[in-house]
Amino acid sequence: KMKGLVIVLALFLCVFGKETFEGLSDSLLDFWTEPIHDSLAVDVRVPFHSLQAVRAFLGYHEIHYEIMIHDLQDLMDEEQREMMKSRASQPRTTDGYDYASYHTFSEITSFMDMLVQEKPNFVSKLVIGKSYEGRPLNVLKFSTGANRPGIWIDTGIHAREWVTPASGTWFAKKIVSDYGHDTVLTAILDKFDIFLEIVTNPDGFHFTHTSNRMWRKTRKPNDGSICVGVDANRNWDAGFSGAGSSNNPCSETYRGPSAHSEPEVKAIVDFVKSHGNLKAFVSIHSYSQMLLYPYGYTRTPCKDQAELDELAKKAVTDLKSLYGTNYKYGSIINVIYQASGGTIDWTYNQGIKYSYTFELRDTGRYGFMLPANQIIPTAEETWLALMAIMEHTKNNPY
């Protein structure tokens, strides 16, 4: 329990390094900002039982401080109450689910279970592994027959990109609604299974709900570092450790200690290898409004560049037809930046020709904090692009 204070220490730190605070035992103080420079303030959480000692220490050393939060537990309890209030009514069916709002990991998991329950002969839930913190890595399988080739879609690999799992949820419902009614989708599903992993990074996703909305990476601690997490889209074995990722655990693009070191990534790698017959692989991110194909780690064009480029052009044209949303398209390294160890570079090198990455809305106005009223329009237009990719995959067997 967080019964304690947060104290700001200001400006007199030039004389004192962190070593000075070892006058108090290390375990007493939880530094929220590190003492790194003598003119920068430091935020510290002080447990209740240490309050007296810390006040005395600060007073003796004439260190100026301000109390920012008097009782952290109160604040956290209040936050919990707020969240409970807005989560009061849970839907009983996927028809009652609110697709136009952002949901938590447990709500999305409940949605998946409801969908399977409603269409048990069509939808099943596979658990392909566990996250670092022990959350299930759930994949919905849409299948109308055995031994089919597959199409993979994932959303939510980067925690703060909330519109992606929100869209993924909508895609799941769309597939179930349109099968048997939309001729193109029905034809696709009569030849292929669709695999959909909605929350690909559940630990990170949970963290964006409870602690830091801007978190990107996984939540696995890094040996020898105070910094947590690995960029799951730099952890794949394709150009791993090359330019376009970082070897610093504190970086947002930290590649991890080795390729596939993250359980969230390893689970997909294992799935792809054991399935052995995936024909398209789409990994969905936000934001920037782009449809990208390999490579990110090298400027060498991939051998299917011409076909992937033409298909991307068709897909973004279809996407634009709905609401006029403009997408750029091209290889990762040309359109956005050099990125090594990326998902679709690996899947492409495994022989999955139709490997694409999306960057959904918008282009920076709201960025990661896309208003909830844009979830459904985003999902609807993106679906048209996905359909173009899936249809082309079906019509061009390899």
Partner 1 sequence: MHRFCSVCVVLFSLVWPCLVQPQTPTSQPLGLTSLHEGNCSCALRLHHTEPTSQEGLVMTSRELNPQFYEASRAGRVVQHHLNTLYGSPFRVYVVTQVHTARTEDTGDDGMKYVLEFSVKDWASEGPECKASAEVLYPRGDVHQPPKVQSSPDGLLQANTSDKEQAFYQRYSAAAGPVSAKDIPDSYGHIDPEMEHFWHLAWVASSFIMLNESSENTLYSLAQVAKVTQLNIQDGQLRFELQVLLHDMVSQNINRWKLQVSWSPADGVQVLEMELLPRCHCKSQTRP
Residue closest to 70 by CA, chosen among 7, 153, 141: 7
Q: Is 284 in the site for partner 1 (CB under 8 A)?
A: no
Q: What is the DSSP letter of 99?
A: T
Q: Is 356 in the site for partner 1 (CB under 8 A)?
A: no
Residues 40-59 touching partner 1, rule: CB under 8 A, are 40, 43, 45
Q: Residues near 369 by Cβ (< 8 Å), separated by ≥ 6?
A: 213
Q: What angle do CA 93, 99, 100 make, to 5 degrees?
A: 145
Q: Is 34 in the site for partner 1 (CB under 8 A)?
A: yes
Residue closest to 342 by CA, chosen among 362, 328, 356, 360: 356
Considering Cα of 75, then 79, then 80, then 81, what sign does the dihedral take?
positive
Q: Is 182 in the site for partner 1 (CB under 8 A)?
A: no
Which of 178, 374, 380, 392 is close enough to bind partner 1 by CB under 8 A? 374
Two structure tokens written together for 77: 């309890």
Binding mask 287-316 for partner 1 (x = CB under 8 A): -x----------------------------
Do 313 and 329 contact (CB within 8 A), yes or no? Answer: yes
Q: Is 31 in the site for partner 1 (CB under 8 A)?
A: yes
Q: Is 247 in the site for partner 1 (CB under 8 A)?
A: no
The interface region with partner 1, picked from 134-142, 191-199, 245-253, 350-358 by CB under 8 A, is 245-253
The interface region with partner 1, picked from 121-129, 271-279, 346-354, 362-370 by CB under 8 A, is 362-370
* DSSP-derived 3-state class of residue 13: coil
Q: What is the DSSP letter of 193?
A: E
Which of 125, 328, 349, 392 is close enough to bind partner 1 by CB under 8 A? 328
Query: What H or E segment, with its residue span, contains residue 79?
Result: helix 72-86
Q: What is the CA radius of gyration of the chain?
A: 24
Which of 28, 126, 322, 335 is close enough to bind partner 1 by CB under 8 A? 335
- C-alpha 168/C-alpha 379 separation (Å) is 8
Which of 372, 376, 377, 384 is close enough to bind partner 1 by CB under 8 A? 372
Point out the catalytic residue in the list 262, 359, 381, 391.
Answer: 359
The interface region with partner 1, picked from 34-42, 142-150, 302-310, 347-355 by CB under 8 A, is 34-42
Q: Is 391 a catalytic residue?
A: no
- C-alpha 197/C-alpha 167 separation (Å) is 11
Q: Summarize as ranges the residues that interact with partner 1 (CB under 8 A).
A: 30-34, 36-37, 40, 43, 45, 101-102, 162, 208-209, 211-216, 226-228, 231, 250-253, 288, 326, 328-330, 334-337, 363-372, 374
Residues tagged active-site: 359
